[in-house]
Amino acid sequence: MVTPLKVRLASFAGFLFGTQPSDGTIALYSLNQQKRASFIVCADNKQIMEKDENRVVVSLPAELAAKIAEQQRIARRYFPNDIHKAVVSIHAAWKLLPAPKFNTSSSDALLHDCIYILNFALKHEDARQLLDRWIKDMEMSGYKIDKASPYLLMGETLLFLEQAIEAQKYLQKALEIGGVATFADQPALYLDIASKKITDQESIMQAFEKEDLLEVWFKNEEVISAKHTVSNDMLEQIDRICEEGSELFDENEYLKAIRTWEQAFRLIPEPKNSFSQSLWLHSSIGDAYFLLNDFQKAAAHFFAAKSNNEQNGYANPFIMLRLGQSYFELNDTVNAKEYLLRAYTLGGAELFENEKKKYFDFVKLQ
C-alpha cells in the first residue's frame, strides 16, 4: 500500500508564489457593480453578497500571453525529471502575470500547472496556500462562482496533507458547482467523498492510501504535458466520437448519446474549459439531459458550457435558452429570468418558436 509521502523538498514556493503582486502591476478590473440580495456561501461557510453579473475574464495582450505560455512550456519540459527547475520556471510564468492574477485569460491554465507541479514536488502546503488565494479571490469578488476545479484541486491537496474532513468540504463544493461532470476524469474516490458515500476521516484516509499515488503523479504529468497541445489524431478521435453521439441523439437514444459524448469529453485535457470542444460537448450532453427531463444535470452542463474560456458561451443564445429553461423547470426563477431574458436579447422571439409556450410567456412577464 502506498501512503502519502511526508518528506518535503526544501520549501521555497511559498516565497515564489507569495501574496505581494509584482512591482508595477495594476488592477485591470473594477468591482463597482450593482448588487442584489442573494448570497454566495463560501467553502468556510461565510456568506457574502452576490452580484447579478457574471465575472468577466481580463484578456491579456497577445504578446504577454505568449510570454507566459512559453514559460509554462519550459516548466513542462523540465517536469518531472528536474522538478526544481520546473518550479522555478512556473514561477517565472506566474511573475509575468499581472493583476488580477486569478482572473485573466491565462490564469486558469497557469494555476492548474502551478498546483500540479507543486503537488508533484511534494510542496502540498504551498499548493494549499495558492489554492486558498485563488478560491478567496473568486468568493470575495461577489460574482457568481462557475469554476469547480479550484475546489476539486483543494480537496485533493488537502488529502495529501491528511486533512480529510476539510478535503470533503471542498470536494462537496466542487460537486455543488460543477456537478458529476467535474469528476469525470478523477479518481472515483473523490466523487464518493463529495457525495457523502464515505464520510469519516479514518475511512477517507484509508481509501486514499489505497490509491496508487504514483499513478496519480503520472496522470498529472500527462495532464500538464497535454494542455493546449491536443494532437490532430486526438482531435479526429474526438470528432469521430462526437459524430457517433450525434447519430444516437438523432435517433432519440439520448442516454447512449450521453455515454458516447462522455467518452469524447474524457479525451480533452485539463483545464477542459480552455478547449472549445468542451463547450460543444457540455451543450450536447446538457441538451440530451434536458430532453430526458433531468433538469439538474442539464443545468450543470449548460452552466459549464457558459463558463468556457476558449469560446464565449455567455454569448451563445441556445446555451442561454437551455440554461434558463432548466432553471425554470427547477423553480429557480431568479436564474431562469436572467438566462431566458439574455437568450431573448441574443436570439429574439424566433429562438422560442419551437419551444413550449410557457418559456416565452415567462419572458414576457418580466
- Write down the pLDDT at residue 132: 96
Q: Is the pLDDT of residue 89 over 50?
A: yes
- Write down the pLDDT at residue 85: 92
Q: Is the pLDDT of residue 32 over 80?
A: no
Q: Is the pLDDT of residue 331 over 80?
A: yes
Quote the mean pLDDT of the chain.
80
Which of 196-210, 228-242, 304-318 is modeled with the greatest confidence?
Answer: 196-210
CATH fold group of domain 232-365? 1.25.40
Span 231-257, average pLDDT: 91
- Write down the pLDDT at residue 320: 94
Span 310-330, average pLDDT: 91
Higher local confidence (pLDDT), 9 or 158: 158
- The reply to whether domains 62-227 and 232-365 share a CATH topology is yes
List helix spans (H) across 268-355: 276-291, 295-306, 317-329, 333-347
Confidence of residue 216 (pLDDT cuts 50, 70, 90): low
Q: Is the pLDDT of residue 321 over 90?
A: yes
Q: Is the pLDDT of residue 231 over 50?
A: yes
**Segment among 34-38, 52-56, 82-86, 151-155 with least mean pLDDT:** 34-38
Q: Which residues pair with 51 in a beta bridge?
A: 35
Q: Is the pLDDT of residue 192 over 90?
A: yes
Cβ atoms of 154 and 131 closer than 8 Å: yes
- Write down the pLDDT at residue 61: 84
- Write down the pLDDT at residue 2: 33
List helix spans (H) across 142-253: 149-160, 164-178, 188-194, 201-210, 213-226, 232-250
CATH fold group of domain 62-227? 1.25.40
Element (DSSP H or E) covering residue 308: none
Q: What is the pLDDT of residues 338-348, one digit of tens each?
A: 999 999 999 99
Cβ atoms of 302 and 322 closer than 8 Å: yes
Cell of 292: 430526458
Q: Is the pLDDT of residue 28 over 50?
A: no
Span 130-153, average pLDDT: 91
- Write down the pLDDT at residue 257: 94
Q: Is the pLDDT of residue 213 over 70?
A: no
Q: Please provide the DSSP assignment of 21-79 as one string.
A: PPTT----------EEEEEEE-TTS-EEEEESSPPPPBPPPHHHHHHHHHHHHHHHHHT
- Write down the pLDDT at residue 166: 96
Q: What is the pLDDT of residues 42-68, one digit of tens each?
A: 444 444 444 445 677 787 887 888 899
In this structure, what DSSP letter does residue 180 have? G
- Write down the pLDDT at residue 49: 44
* Percent of the chain clearing pLDDT 70 (strictly above): 79
- Write down the pLDDT at residue 270: 66
Q: Is the pLDDT of residue 38 over 70?
A: no
Confidence of residue 230 (pLDDT cuts 50, 70, 90): low
- Where exactly are the structural domains of the chain? 62-227, 232-365
- Write down the pLDDT at residue 124: 93
Confidence of residue 217 (pLDDT cuts 50, 70, 90): low
- Write down the pLDDT at residue 180: 84
Higher local confidence (pLDDT), 23 or 160: 160
Cβ atoms of 157 and 238 closer than 8 Å: no
Confidence of residue 41 (pLDDT cuts 50, 70, 90): very low
- Write down the pLDDT at residue 352: 95
- Write down the pLDDT at residue 358: 96
Higher local confidence (pLDDT), 268 or 245: 245
Confidence of residue 212 (pLDDT cuts 50, 70, 90): low
In this structure, what DSSP letter does residue 268 have? S
Confidence of residue 233 (pLDDT cuts 50, 70, 90): confident
Burial class (CB in 10 A: 0-12, 13-18, 19+), 117: buried
